[in-house]
Amino acid sequence: MITYRPATPADHQTLLTLARETFAETYTDLTPEDLDHHFNTTLTPEYIESALVQDHVIFALDHETPIGYIQFGPTDPNLSKNIHRIYLRKTHQRQGIGTHLLNLALNHPIIINAPEVSIDVWSENTVALRLYQSHGFKITREYFLTFPSGPSETPDYFMTRKNPAQPSPNPESSL
Please report, for the domain that includes residue 152, its CATH number: 3.40.630.30
In a domain, 174, yes or no: no
Query: What pLDDT does 174 receive?
Result: 47
In a domain, 172, yes or no: no
Report helix, strand or coil for 60: strand
Backbone angles phi, psi at 104, to 5 degrees: -60, -45
- Name the domain count of the chain: 1
**% of the chain at pLDDT higher than 70:** 93
How do residues 70-115 score in pLDDT, each as one tens digit? 999 987 777 789 999 999 999 999 999 999 999 999 999 989 888 8
In a domain, 171, yes or no: no
In a domain, 169, yes or no: no
- Which range of 38-42, 66-70, 165-169 scores highest in mean pLDDT? It is 66-70
Contact indicator for 167, 106 with CB cutoff of 8 Å: yes
CA dist 165 and 62 (Å) reads 32
Q: What does pLDDT average to over the chain?
A: 90
Residue span of the structural domain in which 88 resides: 2-162
